[in-house]
Amino acid sequence: MALPPIQPRTELRERLAKRLPELVGMTMEQVQAEVPFYRHLHPDQLDQEINEVTRQNLQLFVRLLQDGRLPEPSEIEFLMRSAASRAEERIPLPEVLAAYYAGFSACWQQLEEVAEPGDVTAVVEIGSLVLGYLQVVTTAVTETYVETTTALTGREREARTDLLQRVLDATDTPAHWHDAGLAFWPERTLVCLRHRPPSHDDTVTVAVEARRRARAVREELGALSGSVVLDGLSPTGGMLVLRGRVESAAVRKALGKSLRGKWYAGLAHAPDRQRTPEAALSAHDCAEVADRLAYPTGVHQINDLLLEVQVTRPGPARTALAGLLGPIAGNRELLDTLTTYVEEAHRRAPTARRLHVHPNTLDYRLRRVRELTGLDTNDPEGRQLVRAALVVRRFVDSISSRSTP
């Protein structure tokens, strides 16, 4: 039985070309059905831009089919411009590429409908051209997308670095936020983070671990506020600004997922732009005090550290308080006794047990402290001064003993 005559390739191509008008509509339907972003795109944008790019793409493909060749770079410039636009719109690259594959899937379905039994050779050759065309186009689109994204990321990084400083100075405007690719945040949460740098002999490993840690912190805190985080993170921490009001318990949980070992975070809320510098200072002071006094790891706020923050700020009061314990600075026994007594809320029995001494011995030591310093731990005012002096001494010692900020 004789085989039916093979139709010339040009006839199959012409048949496919005649389907071009309806092919555009079918392609758009398939793209919307298969690619999430395009499914939610406004109809006007689909009609005015995406539809036009799809039509040009299919027209070019049909023309190349008729010529039996792959596209020249100049012929796909419109696709590269479209890819740059998609990158600027922050459409994920997988979805951009999925649109191309969905479109050519619709094209292939049309080819199946117009092909006849004698078109086997033509179908194979057209399939080869389809694969070649997709390779050229998706490579060019990917390169353009990545180049655009890289440039945008660099500009945004600079804009966000500038924005962070302006936010902390209360000189930010909606225009600065727009330049950084963000909408204005009326209310902000300030978090100052302090921790030790990664510990490793290899500097490259330390740098990589620091970047991973910073990325994890940004992601966790960004998830809390539903937005990117403005930050000036370094290997030892830094200031972060979160959108809206985020509670300390949530921040503690998020940071606990991202950080290992000891870490300290000061937190403060700024209800508006003008009060942001004050909130930033409060967050910084809380983090510094909690760190230098070796308080428990976690999130600390000013209401929990009123005395500590107040007495450790530089000035005449701190200098005077630091001098109160000068007469016993070299007496470790008396300093440890006084510290334990304050930690035990001035209770004799628990203090004596912790120190493994008789209560009478404790009384003797406290009497020696009073004789040498003039601070009476039996007097309410004296107790306050002792506590403040111990806080300042511990804080100042930490400054002199550490090289980290």
Mean pLDDT over each residue of the chain, to the nearest integer? 84
**Residue-wise pLDDT tens digits, 93-129:** 888 888 777 777 777 777 777 777 777 777 787 778 8
Domain ranges in the chain are 9-152, 188-306, 314-401
Superfamily covering domain 188-306: Reverse transcriptase/Diguanylate cyclase domain (3.30.70.270)
Higher-pLDDT residue of 398 and 186 is 186
Please report, as a single letter, which amino acid is at residue 305.
L
Distances from the Cα of 249 to the Cα of 194, 222, 270, 301, angstroms: 17, 15, 17, 11
Per CATH, the number for 314-401 is 1.10.10.2840
Least confident of 20-24, 141-145, 156-160, 298-302: 20-24
pLDDT tops 90 at residue 19: no
pLDDT of 40 reads: 60
Q: Which element (helix H / strand E) includes 195?
A: strand 188-195
Cα–Cα dist 123/65, whole Å: 11
pLDDT of 80 reads: 86
Per CATH, the number for 9-152 is 1.10.490
C-alpha 284 chain-centroid distance: 20
When pLDDT is averaged across residues 38-66 and rounded to a whole number, the result is 69
Angle between helices 93-114 and 77-88 (to 10 degrees): 140
**CB of 180 closer than 8 Å to CB of 156:** yes
Higher-pLDDT residue of 393 and 112 is 393
When pLDDT is averaged across residues 40-59 and rounded to a whole number, the result is 67
Looking at residue 234, the DSSP 8-state letter turns out to be B
